[in-house]
Amino acid sequence: MPTVTNARLLYVAHPTANEFPKAGVHFKYVEEKIDLDKVAIPDSVLVKILVLGSDPFIRLRMRDPSVPWTFGPLAIGHPVDNFAIGIVVRSEKSEFKPGDYVYGFLTFENYAIFPGPPELQHSLKFLKKFDKHPDILASIYVGVLGMPGETAYAAWRAYVNEKAKTSKTIFINSAAGGVGSFVLQYARYTNPHLKTIVSAGSQDKLDMLKDFGADVVFNYKTTDTAKVLAEHGPIDIAWDHVGGAVLDAALANMNFFGLIIRAGTANGYNQEETGVKNIKVMMEKALRKQGILIGISDDMIEGAKGFTEEVTKLYLEGKIKTRETMYYGIKEASKALIDTQHGHILGKPVIIVADK
Amino acid sequence: MPTVTNARLLYVAHPTANEFPKAGVHFKYVEEKIDLDKVAIPDSVLVKILVLGSDPFIRLRMRDPSVPWTFGPLAIGHPVDNFAIGIVVRSEKSEFKPGDYVYGFLTFENYAIFPGPPELQHSLKFLKKFDKHPDILASIYVGVLGMPGETAYAAWRAYVNEKAKTSKTIFINSAAGGVGSFVLQYARYTNPHLKTIVSAGSQDKLDMLKDFGADVVFNYKTTDTAKVLAEHGPIDIAWDHVGGAVLDAALANMNFFGLIIRAGTANGYNQEETGVKNIKVMMEKALRKQGILIGISDDMIEGAKGFTEEVTKLYLEGKIKTRETMYYGIKEASKALIDTQHGHILGKPVIIVADK
């Protein structure tokens, strides 16, 4: 293994609270050299990156380190890191050997050293081996079979499934992302009696969601969400990726004892969240609202059990489908991250770094 | 029993959504005659009213009947009705006999016929007998031992108690009302390790809450709620009677996996609720929020079991205290209802109509 070029996407500045991240300003693409044989990896693993995930929540990590959160901040001057798939090149850890497929929090570069320098020791930094199924692309393991799928699966089983049995209607807003499109399909699979109402912001997303089995689809940019919900509601379960006015529309059309899952904040990641005025119906309709984060609460850890086995099977059977938008190489990684914040992507954005 | 005067408080007009109710405009006091021997009570009960409750939530019943809610609207041209205590004068129902103490949804007048005309057949209209304890005033049965106490008790047991065991801090805003002051004391009784932070809007309310065992008390009119919570938090459990900016302050200071109980809407009963901007932390901190209504969900019905036995005992032992502000007679009833909306009352407002 010779000395090779290691492309890296560095995180170089925090966007302000109400600013979308920009290439060249907040991210910097660099190329360095790495000697794969000689680079020091004390008690570490050298991983060749195959696929990097790009997820909306990364925006919450683009913050001043003084702001606490479960997921540590991106570290200035270091590569971006996120859920990724790789293959072990060298290992000084007994649990990994060359050729192992690994999944974990890895850096945006061709070759990542895990666990890396102290600045990258995030609370959820982890690396685990997995048996890649020969018929499943590596990219699927950062989407349906990775964090987004696992988040949706764990939350559904922890908080939603019991309620779904006695419910008639579920509304999923901005349903075309990795989490929402999983929820739609898993809801249909586990509770086929549920009427599924989903929104998205473009016709190709609506077509995809229709193909994934949604009963009612509508474009939230051209149609009034409250009007659609009033027609097709009341809503027993709302799965909210947005907040703001969309949450107000959902609140106004919730049924008594309804359940709201708060799974994202498209309305508030890059700008101040619009005020929500209908919160008072939480009491008036005895609603429950649950915020979800993968892997850190007992409920979600319990809910995730059995995920890989069940969802691998469903995926291979075609009962859970996915669409991906591919970005190629570290050079396109900042575009993937930024497009993800703007929501201009059909399906799950993935950054393909190497084939094998 | 001769013909006597029957004073009645009629509900005569709906206040608009952003208006406080007013005497003479929305309520009208009238005096009529009633022949207690001859008045027709087909399959009904004639009840002499002893005490009427005045509760903040009545504002939600002052609405156009086209707006659905679990508690039916007040009916124009008929007396106001609410939780009340009375004594049976005559009965044509086999389960009641003269002299029985009864608790239920009764009309604001000296003598109420239950169930009354069709306009008063609210979904929760009920009447039940109870054994009045000789050492407990009748008024207590519309307060600590009535709906407010039962609401707080049921919600605590259904949603809060398990979480409280592993929590350090609870915040109760506008804690001086019937529900909040019960929660404070029941929290201290069941989970004495909890630090209790409570707010109220006047010094006499703060003194009362201190007497009820609160650890930290502050006046939300003169002190910044967010600042107090930042100093004494993070908050594991927030019991919210207000919404709006106070909820924003609580959200900003919630601990991970925190629980918010939404038990009232002081900010929104008589005016549009102020927008809440921090809802996005529901996801970022994996919070749960639960709206509560007495008696209509399985959780709350289950939670209320054992209420009368346990709380009667705690009250007699002085472990749950109460303060009441008395209004006297139907003539003062509209003042009680209106003062309740403005929050200018120390302790639980009760309308004493007769001694016995």
Residue-wise pLDDT tens digits, B80-101: 999 999 999 999 999 999 999 9
Which of A113-127, A134-148, B223-237 is predicted with the least confidence, judged by mean pLDDT? A113-127
Residues of chain B with CATH 3.90.180.10: 3-143+323-352
CATH 3.40.50.720 residue spans of chain B: 147-291
Mean residue pLDDT of chain B comes to 94
CA distance A58 to A72: 10
* Optimal mutation site among A272, A289, A296, interface B, most CBs of chain B within 10 A: A289
Q: Are B283 and A293 in contact (CB < 8 Å)?
A: yes
Q: Do B282 and A262 touch (CB under 8 A)?
A: yes
**Residues of A with CB below 8 A from B262's CB?**
279-280, 282-283
Q: Chain A to chain B, count of Cβ pairs less than 8 Å apart?
A: 115
Residue numbers in A near B296 (CB within 8 A)? 256, 286
| Residues B117, B119, B123, B127, CA torsion sign | negative
DSSP alpha helix (H) spans, chain B? 147-155, 161-165, 178-190, 203-211, 225-232, 244-252, 281-284, 298-304, 307-316, 333-342
Let me know: does B57 contact B146? Beta carbons within 8 Å: no
**Cβ pair B278:A283 closer than 8 A:** no
pLDDT at B6 over 70: yes
When pLDDT is cut at 50, 70 and 90, the band that residue A70 belongs to is: confident
> Could you read off the pLDDT of A151-194 as tens digits, one per residue?
999 999 999 999 999 999 999 999 999 999 999 999 999 999 99
pLDDT per residue over B264-293, tens digit each? 887 777 777 778 888 889 999 999 999 999
ipTM for the predicted complex comes to 0.88
**pLDDT band for position A208 (cuts 50, 70, 90):** very high
pLDDT at B1 over 70: no
B3-143+323-352 maps to CATH 3.90.180.10: yes
pLDDT tens digit sequence for A296-308: 889 999 999 999 9
**Radius of gyration, CA atoms only, chain B:** 21
Choose among B263, B283, B290: nearest Cβ to A288: B290
Which pair of tokens denotes residue B297?
């969900």
Residue A30, beta-bridge partner list: A8
The alpha-carbon gap from B17 to the nearest alpha carbon of chain A, in Å, equals 13
CA angle B346–B351–B354, rounded 5-degree value: 140
**Model confidence band, residue B69 (pLDDT cutoffs 50, 70, 90):** confident
Is the pLDDT at B115 greater than 70? The verdict is yes
CA B313, B318, B323, B326 torsion: positive or negative?
Answer: positive
Tokens of A38: 């000689």
**pLDDT recorded at residue B203:** 96
Distance CA(A50)–CA(A58), nearest Å, equals 19
Residues of A with CB below 8 A from B259's CB?
Answer: none
- Look at residue B329 and give its three-state secondary structure: coil
Structural contact between residues B59 and B24, judged by C-beta atoms closer than 8 angstroms: no
Give dist(CA B46, CA A276) in Å, integer: 46
Question: Binning pLDDT at 50, 70 and 90, where does residue A103 land?
Answer: very high
Averaged pLDDT for residues A222-245: 95
What is the C-alpha to C-alpha distance for residues A36 and A48, in angstroms, rounded to an integer?
10
* Mean pLDDT along residues B326-340: 96
- Judge whether A264 and A241 are in contact, CB under 8 Å: yes
Integer Cα distance of B226 and A302 in angstroms:
34
pLDDT at B7: 98
Least-confidence region, from A71-75, A92-96, A138-142, A350-354 = A71-75
CB A267 within 8 A of CB A273: yes
Is A343 a residue whose pLDDT tops 80? yes
Length of chain B as a residue count: 356
Confidence at residue A67, expressed as pLDDT on a 0 to 100 scale: 82
CATH number of A147-291: 3.40.50.720
pLDDT one-digit tens code per residue, B17-67: 889 999 999 999 999 999 999 999 999 999 999 999 999 999 999 998 888
A278: nearest CA in chain B?
Answer: B273
In chain B, what residues touch A272 (CB-CB under 8 Å)? 277
Distances (CA, A) of A330 to A151, A278, A353, A355, B156: 26, 43, 6, 13, 52
pLDDT in tens, B146-156: 999 999 999 99
Q: What is the pLDDT of residue A1?
A: 66
Whole-number pLDDT of residue B204: 95
Q: Which residues in B lie closer than 8 A to residue A288 (C-beta atoms)?
A: 288-291
As given in the structure block, the two tokens for residue B73 are 């609207």
- The 3-state secondary structure of chain A reads CCEEEEEEEEECCCCCCCCCCCECCCEEEEEEEEECCCCCCCCCEEEEEEEEECCHHHHHHCCCCCCCCCCCCCCCCCECEEEEEEEEEEECCCCCCCCCEEEEEEECECEEEECCCHHHCCCCCCEEECCCCCCCCHHHHHCCCCHHHHHHHHHHHHHHHHHHHCCCEEEECCCCCHHHHHHHHHHHHHCCCCEEEEEECCHHHHHHHHHCCCCEEEECCCCCHHHHHHHHCCEEEEEECCCHHHHHHHHHCEEEEEEEEECCCCCCCCCCCCCECCCCHHHHCCCEEEECCCCCCHHHHHHCCCHHHHHHHHHHCCCCCCCEEEEECHHHHHHHHHHHHHCCCCCEEEEECCCC
Residues of B with CB under 8 A from a CB of A: 60, 69-70, 243, 247, 256-257, 262-265, 267-268, 272-293, 296-297, 300
Q: Is the confidence at residue A275, as pLDDT, over 90?
A: no
The residue count for chain A: 356
Closest of B45, B117, B44, B56 to residue B82, by C-alpha:
B56
Closest CA to A108 of A71, A58, A154: A58
- Side chain identity at A275, as an amino acid letter? G
